Structure 1
Amino acid sequence: MDNIENLTAMVVFARVVETLSFTEAAKSLRLSKSSVSREIASLEVRLGAQLLNRTTRKIAVTDVGMSYYQYCNRILNEIKGAEHFIRHFHEEPMGNLRLIAPVTFGCQCVVPVLNHYINNNIHVNVDLDLTDRPVNMADELYDIAIVITRDRPEAAQIKPLIPITWGLYAAPKYVARLAKITKPEDLPRHDYILFRGPAHTISLPFYKDKQKLDIEVRSRFRMNNSVALMSSAMAGGGIAYLPDYIAQESVHEGKLVRLLPDWKMDTYHSWVLFKSDSGLSARVRLFVDDLERKLRQLYLTPSD
């Protein structure tokens, strides 16, 4: 007996039992009535048992046929369950989401979105790695990586998030003690808290219309973490060079002020790198869409 051949016949037989009509069964299965009749006849021959009693007016299921239908029905339910699983694999997030992100950007921008995502997708587990080390997706086990770079990353599949602009910030009381700063050329006489650069000087870029200036300033206090740098600025330690998204809330709360807001400075870009360019699972698609939407809502103005 060919069990594989029986599978198709079992589906046809189950539909006939459920409709008690060769015509209706054929219509629902998109087969011809004669094909349905042949499948049932061949199945009865292979089983050596009569499953249906046929007359010109109606179809009746035999006792053995009804018992056999129970097995057919269980198989059909398993098939439907398998189809349901695959459909929800593409439509409903489930499984493990593994991602890596820079420490500060991850804490401030990614984790809040993940909190909302986890609360609304109970079938997803998340593994987040916060690190500032370089990422090569070909060598990583993560589903996605979030990176911040000046230029477009070299990766098979990427998605842009938001630009990361930079600016100069200081505590209001600190600014009140300074000589008035109205242009970039006023900056060198002050002390700075910087994220990067050589020990004593760094060239800060300024852009306005077609003007481009590079102003060298003195840094007495340098750190490798922007949040700590911002904390020092709020304590009155000097003028901090910060990504705007980090300082945005403190500016709104009056703890920091932006210096020379009419001038643009460095601009980096945030990106999502995907593991491969094959079809993305629902858990990845939904999180990336949520992240992009939330970041644009919080950190981009309509003009951006």
Structure 2
Amino acid sequence: MDIENLTAMAVFARVVETLSFTEAARSLQMSKSSVSREISRLEVRLGAQLLHRTTRTIAVTEVGLSYYQYCYRILNEVKSAQRFIRNVHEEPLGNLHLVAPVTFGCQCIVPALNSFIAGNIHVTVDLDLTDRAVHIDEDPFDIAIVIDRDSPDDSRAKPLIDITWGLYATPDYLRQYPEIEKPEDLPRYDYILFRGPAHTISLPFRKDKHKIDIDVRSRFRANNSVALMSSALAGGGIAYLPDYMTREALSSGKLIRLLPGWRMDTYHAWMLFKSEHNLSSRVRRFASDLQQRLQRELP
């Protein structure tokens, strides 16, 4: 097959499908005269008439109909070849390097990574779990998961989810004391808190326009939320925890959320990329998968 026939075959196929030089020219972004010229030259090279033309109509000859079937198959193969090359460029491959806070990473990022790895066999993953500050421009990460009270002032950041916090305790622990009906009832209890500069912290409560801060004292402190939750499940007191950690314990009845009508702290989880532009397919695909998964499972 002459290579020069490929363009003419595409033009001829479009004319057959539209039965209009004008429509074929418009869809191919060519002039009507160029379409007519391609068909005429093709007929000369083939030594056969493919179309009957009049001033108003176009009819496909018997030879033309048979030739169109070959054109259709060949052009579909060309399209398939183009899709193949496009998929080669778009299919995620290579190494994906991420960093995330320890607890959020274990609870929320690792399940998403497991699913991503299973569906993208040409990708390898390195995950760093750390609560230290990350400097994306200096560290060798494609994506950094950042959690903070405020939104990062960086155009490379993309939001994931809001992380709300609440107070949790076991039913057995709560049965030992009078029912907690309002924030002012809280100071008399034992608290399990994330380690801070002091044993006493002020817990924020918001409901409609009503705002109140209640000072409570911790009996047990740790720098890891998993440790705090473990202590809460053991009946050690009331733990202040991110809500995403407690879903299973809450649904199974192992923990109870106190004062659910009040809002407490809200943090924001973000993805921060090494570059704002020219993201690799593996970075784009995982970022999209992670965002959809978290917004579906942790609304």
Alignment TM-score, normalising by the size of structure 2 = 0.73
| Distance change >3 Å, CA 115–CA 213, structure 1 → 2 | same
**Gap runs ≥5 in structure 1:** 1-12, 33-54, 59-79
Equivalent residue number for residue 135 of structure 2: 136
Instruction: Please report how far the alpha carbon of residue 14 of structure 1 lies from its aligned counterpart in structure 2 after TM superposition.
Output: 6.4
Show CA shifts across 1:13-55 (max 9, x none). Answer: 9615xx5x99659999x9x8xxxxxxxxxxxxxxxxxxxxxx9
| Distance change >3 Å, CA 210–CA 161, structure 1 → 2 | same
Task: Answer yes or no: is 1:15 the counterpart of 2:8.
Answer: no
Task: Answer yes or no: is 1:273 the counterpart of 2:272.
Answer: yes
Map 1:5-44 → 2, pairs under 5 A: 15-16=3-4, 19=5
Show CA shifts across 1:115-136 (max 9, x none). Answer: 0110111011111111111112
1:278 alignment partner AA? H
Instruction: Please report how far the alpha carbon of residue 82 of structure 1 lies from its aligned counterpart in structure 2 after TM superposition.
Output: 10
Task: Answer yes or no: is 1:169 the counterpart of 2:177.
Answer: no
Contact 1:15 1:25 survives alignment (8 Å): no
Instruction: Please report how far the alpha carbon of residue 110 of structure 1 lies from its aligned counterpart in structure 2 after TM superposition.
Output: 0.5
Contact 1:137 1:155 survives alignment (8 Å): no
Map 1:48-63 → 2, pairs under 5 A: none
The separation in 2 between residues aligned to 1:123 and 1:291, in whole angstroms, is 18
**Gap runs ≥5 in structure 2:** 14-29, 35-44, 49-79
Equivalent residue number for residue 238 of structure 1: 237
Instruction: Please report how far the alpha carbon of residue 81 of structure 1 lies from its aligned counterpart in structure 2 after TM superposition.
Output: 8.7
- The total of aligned residue pairs comes to 245
Equivalent residue number for residue 157 of structure 1: 156
The separation in 1 between residues aligned to 2:191 and 2:173, in whole angstroms, is 12
Task: Answer yes or no: is 1:283 the counterpart of 2:271.
Answer: no
| Distance change >3 Å, CA 89–CA 136, structure 1 → 2 | farther
| Distance change >3 Å, CA 23–CA 168, structure 1 → 2 | closer
Map 1:154-303 → 2, pairs under 5 A: 154-300=153-299
Equivalent residue number for residue 111 of structure 2: 112
1:203 alignment partner AA? S
| Distance change >3 Å, CA 26–CA 257, structure 1 → 2 | closer
Instruction: Please report how far the alpha carbon of residue 279 of structure 1 lies from its aligned counterpart in structure 2 after TM superposition.
Output: 2.3
Show CA shifts across 1:227-247 (max 9, x none). Answer: 110010010001000000011
Equivalent residue number for residue 93 of structure 1: 92
Equivalent residue number for residue 7 of structure 1: none
Alignment TM-score, normalising by the size of structure 1 = 0.72
| Distance change >3 Å, CA 282–CA 23, structure 1 → 2 | closer
Secondary structure of the structure 1 residue equivalent to 2:140: coil
Share of identical aligned residues, percent?
61
The separation in 2 between residues aligned to 1:216 and 1:109, in whole angstroms, is 31
Instruction: Please report how far the alpha carbon of residue 90 of structure 1 lies from its aligned counterpart in structure 2 after TM superposition.
Output: 4.6
The separation in 2 between residues aligned to 1:94 and 1:296, in whole angstroms, is 25
The separation in 2 between residues aligned to 1:134 and 1:268, in whole angstroms, is 16
| Distance change >3 Å, CA 224–CA 22, structure 1 → 2 | closer
Instruction: Please report how far the alpha carbon of residue 88 of structure 1 lies from its aligned counterpart in structure 2 after TM superposition.
Output: 2.9
The separation in 1 between residues aligned to 2:132 and 2:294, in whole angstroms, is 22
C-alpha RMSD of the superposition: 3.0
| Distance change >3 Å, CA 158–CA 90, structure 1 → 2 | farther
1:120 alignment partner AA? G
1:246 alignment partner AA? M
1:232 alignment partner AA? S
Equivalent residue number for residue 67 of structure 1: none
Show CA shifts across 1:167-207 (max 9, x none). Answer: 00001100111221100100111110001334321111111
1:258 alignment partner AA? R
The separation in 2 between residues aligned to 1:145 and 1:108, in whole angstroms, is 16
